[in-house]
């Protein structure tokens, strides 16, 4: 009997849902999905960045509810310590937590200018200076991780950091962001993960229900 429920939102639009779902899959936690419809007012506000709180995804496990993505990651690391969501070395764990925290609380220009939309392809998309600064910071983080840990993922093996940055990878693809060779190769590796392929296939069959995110930029 499945003991966990993961409440998520749209697979096409919700970057936070993708992070929580990937974390659970990477941890090897068995769970069932509970999907909040896009027409739910609170959910819609979150997807359109009109809500100050992010309550989806939410993991319910053994009577405990965890609704913040970083909290979900830390909880999964506690109950599934052999999954490798955090590196073994203390200094490396601290670095991993730091870049996850930066993703969690920062890059607001990127979020608003390049919203997640897996179905869309904006060839030749014009990235303005605010979002470009976020892109430059993210790719610098990636390159520093590659130099320190030799890939193929940010900390060598898959960790919570890769789950946190996976939606950024989809944004770079959607908005035709030009990347150097190492960062482009990393994006290909993330998109080739079986979990990402499964998520994207499900996203493609969702109805387009957020006209605000289907507009031509």
- How far apart, in whole angstroms, are the C-alpha atoms of residue 204 and residue 118? 7
Q: Tell how strand 64-66 and strand 58-61 pair up.
A: antiparallel
Nearest CA to 175 out of 215, 139, 102, 126 is that of: 126
Residue 185 burial (CB < 10 Å; 0-12/13-18/19+)?
middle
Place of tokens 């993330």: 190
Identify the pLDDT of residue 172. Answer: 98
| CATH 3.40.30.10 at 4-83, yes or no | yes
Taking only the tens place, the pLDDT of each residue in 87-98 is: 999 999 999 999
DSSP code per residue over 143-169: HHHHHHH-SSBTBBB--HHHHHHHHHH
Q: What span, in angstroms and rounded, lies between the C-alpha atoms of 214 and 125?
A: 14
The pLDDT value recorded for residue 38 is 67
pLDDT at residue 50, as a whole number: 46
Please give the pLDDT value at position 215.
Answer: 42
Q: Where are the domains of the chain?
A: 4-83, 90-200
Per-residue burial over 94-130, b = 16 or more CB atoms within 10 Å of its CB, e = otherwise: ebbbebbeebbeebebbbebbbbbbebebeeeebeee
The reply to whether CATH 3.30.70.100 applies to domain 90-200 is no
- The reported pLDDT for the residue numbered 201 is 97
Q: How far, CA to CA in Å, does 76 sit from each of 57, 90, 139, 193, 217?
A: 14, 18, 27, 20, 38
> Going residue by residue through the chain (217 aa), what tens digit of pLDDT does each one get?
458 999 998 899 999 999 999 999 999 999 999 988 766 655 555 555 544 556 789 999 999 999 999 999 999 999 999 999 999 999 999 999 999 999 999 999 999 999 999 999 999 999 998 999 999 999 999 999 999 999 899 999 999 999 999 999 999 999 999 999 999 999 999 999 999 999 999 999 988 665 555 543 3
Using CB atoms within 10 Å of the CB of residue 9, give its burial: 0 to 12 exposed, 13 to 18 middle, 19+ buried: buried
Residue 37's pLDDT is: 72
Give the closest residue to 60 by CA, choosing from 52, 72, 51, 49.
72
Strand positions, DSSP E, the chain: 4-8, 32-35, 58-61, 64-66
């Amino acid at each position: 009997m499945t003991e966990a429920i993961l409440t998520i939102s749209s697979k096409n639009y919700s970057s936070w849902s993708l992070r929580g779902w990937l974390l659970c899959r990477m941890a090897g936690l068995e769970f069932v999905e509970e999907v909040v419809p896009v027409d739910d007012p609170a959910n819609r506000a979150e997807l359109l960045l009109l809500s100050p709180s992010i309550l989806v995804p939410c993991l319910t496990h053994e009577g405990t509810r965890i609704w913040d993505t970083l909290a979900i990651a830390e909880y999964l690391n506690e109950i599934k310590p052999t999954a490798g969501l955090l590196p073994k070395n203390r200094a490396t764990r601290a670095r991993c937590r730091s870049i996850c925290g930066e993703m969690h609380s920062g890059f607001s220009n990127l979020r608003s200018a390049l919203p997640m939309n897996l179905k869309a392809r904006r060839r030749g998309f014009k990235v303005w200076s605010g979002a470009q600064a976020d892109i430059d910071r993210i790719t610098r983080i990636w390159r520093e991780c590659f130099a320190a840990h030799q890939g193929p993922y940010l900390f060598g093996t898959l960790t919570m950091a890769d789950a946190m940055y996976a939606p950024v990878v989809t944004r770079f693809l959607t908005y035709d962001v030009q990347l150097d060779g190492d960062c482009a190769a990393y994006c290909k590796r993330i998109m080739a993960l079986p979990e990402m392929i499964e998520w994207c296939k499900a996203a493609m069959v969702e109805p387009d229900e957020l006209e605000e995110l289907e507009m031509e930029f």
